[in-house]
Structure 1
């Protein structure tokens, strides 16, 4: 099956590939309710033309987009917010209360990411990060609802990956737009056993008990599917959620073991090696036949980010 930037998923939902770094890495979603639309996640600033092209291709006037909804303000999810809002004159930004200030004034967000990646790499990956006028921003709390046409969306506060994270429950599709709370599941790792799922512990706010509670909160909805940002829809949330919760426990045990074996100067490298060994073993048990080189291409970035996040978590516990 050939890859497409757009895929209709049923239930008036379209998956859009954000074209960040590689195919099937990150997705955003166009959701229709009657004559109105919402865009959930935005990808980077480079994704904005892809979204606008889809609207034009389908004859959807930009004025009909009612909401832009990033699940949290990490730039692979919200980097395109400012550019998209500038192009959608009637849209309101719905963002977690803890993340709104970073969308209104993204200077600190940009400075932090630039310090990590460097100016050139940051611009290449994320592009320009534009501010959003405060008058166009709303901050739904836990349990708050909005309507898109005749369609109801429910917001759920779901910390653990980040404190500025919510998920969006869509009763019409019996689905949840999960951001990073319900982990990652890349299509190349799907086998006859189904999707392979793994947690994401990127810096700097990984909180294992909070993440466990948030995963449980999503499972309690008894939804039929989860719309992952990384990547696409997955079914059987109960099975995947139990697996994910077990993996969060495994990550914590692994991190604590490694921290007891190496000094701080070697912590991140040792964590990455241990995570790689753990995940490659799990992937192979799941039936994935890729060689190590191909697995590194699929999981390498997450291995680096997750080891960094675990290191930050360990150091923060030590400092507390």
Structure 2
């Protein structure tokens, strides 16, 4: 039997909180399935910050992580969603109710939606429907305006003995920022550096794909964000979907190559009849071919099963992007 990791003499259940080194901990929110949606907790000199929270249904797991690490609720200084999509920020409001000193640090385009999440909820409802909202997202809770801080590009945020840096990072969403941790030399990327699932690893190496989900996909902005992230020469990326990923340079090369193919697919199908179905089919073919080229031996139907939700949502997002382009 594999023993649990021990931090400060305290055994940790890796299914609740997984230490990644340098005071960084990963929490599986169990959104949709295991190993799909991560929240992170940074701990430094008695101070803590959550980065992304998952949905409101994940809050008990986030609080359990604090308990497992022996942290009091009032030791959490910040709750920092990378952006306000509900799988990243749906838990901010209910989590803040348990953290008396914490402030929510939110991109200025997203901050109003944390204070009044009604528009955010209705937008998600239009995409997912009521049954899925009830099953996967739960109720949204407003954050009091006085507890919300709007981030700035280049903002530095002290946390214990380290200083985090936030940068504006559009491409997936215009209300997205990424967080740089100088101690681990890693970026908390939300969805700005794509998605990478451990089931798709090839010989222990991550395979990463761009996410084009509704409604603000912008391939040019995404390339600029990736370049800006890479300029720091990061040693790892902390992806919400899913986990700490390294080495970074080959991931960036592969991500940009796939982004080129996805953009070309969309432009080719802009006027296609039954465009959505064609985009889904085209995305599936691109992902399968990329995985095959990098040595994956997974059957095509298993790849499609693992990526089914992403293919559907990515196609929807590409449709919104294509409709905004001039004829």
- The Cα of 1:4 is off from its aligned counterpart by 2.3
SS for the counterpart of 1:152 is: strand
Match of 2:261 among 242, 250, 259: 250
Higher share of residues assigned helix: 1
Query: What's the CA shift for 1:193?
Result: 6.6
Inter-partner Cα distance in structure 2 for 1:6 and 1:288 = 29
Q: Partner of 1:52 in structure 2? A: 63
Normalising by structure 1, report the TM-score: 0.96
- Separation in 2, partners of 1:153, 1:246: 30
1:158 maps to 2:169: yes
Q: Give the structure 2 partner of residue 229 of structure 1.
A: 240
Offset from partner CA, 1:8-36 (integer Å, 9 cap, x none): 10001111001101011110101011110
Contact 2:30-2:37 within 8 A present in 1 as well: yes
After superposition, what is the alpha-carbon deviation per residue over 1:153-198, rounded to whole angstroms, capped at 9, x for unaligned?
0001000100000000000111110000011110011112711010
Aligned residue for 1:305? 313
Q: Within 1, Cα distance between the matches of 2:228 and 2:199?
A: 28
Alignment match of 1:275 (pick from 264, 267, 283): 283
Conserved 8 A contact 2:16-2:64: no
Name the CA distance, whole Å, in 2 between partners of 1:36 and 1:63.
9
Deviations 1:77-117 (A, max 9, x none): 00000000111111000000100000000000001111222
One of 71, 75, 97 as aligned partner of 1:86? 97
1:58 positional shift: 2.3
Measured in 2, the distance between the counterparts of 1:71 and 1:24 equals: 18
Q: Helix, strand or coil for the counterpart of 2:21?
A: coil
Corresponding pairs, count: 316
Give the Å deviation of 1:248: 1.2
Distance (whole Å) between structure 2 residues aligned to residue 72 and residue 193 of structure 1? 29
Asked whether 1:178 is paired with 2:189, we answer yes
What's the secondary structure of 1:254's corresponding residue? helix
| Structure 1 residues 35-62: Cα deviation after superposition (integer angstroms, max 9, x where no partner) | 1000000000011000101112222100
1:15 maps to 2:23: no
3-state SS in 2 of match to 1:110 = helix
Partner of 1:87, secondary structure, is coil
Q: Kindly state the Cα deviation for residue 285 of structure 1 after the two structures are TM-superposed.
A: 1.8
TM-score (norm 2): 0.94
C-alpha displacement of 1:123: 1.4
1:99-248 pair list within 5 angstroms: 99-192=110-203, 194-248=205-259
Q: In the aligned structure 2, how far is the partner of 1:233 from the partner of 1:57?
A: 20
Q: Unaligned 5+ residue runs, structure 2?
A: 3-13
SS of equivalent residue, structure 1 residue 155: strand
Secondary structure of residue in 2 paired with 1:259:
coil
Gaps of at least 5 residues in structure 1 are: none
RMSD: 1.4
User: 2:269 is paired with a residue of what secondary structure?
Assistant: helix
Q: 1:293 to 1:6 in 2, by over 3 A?
A: farther
Q: Is the 8 A contact 1:193 1:286 kept in 2?
A: no
Distance 1:298 1:89 in 2: 39
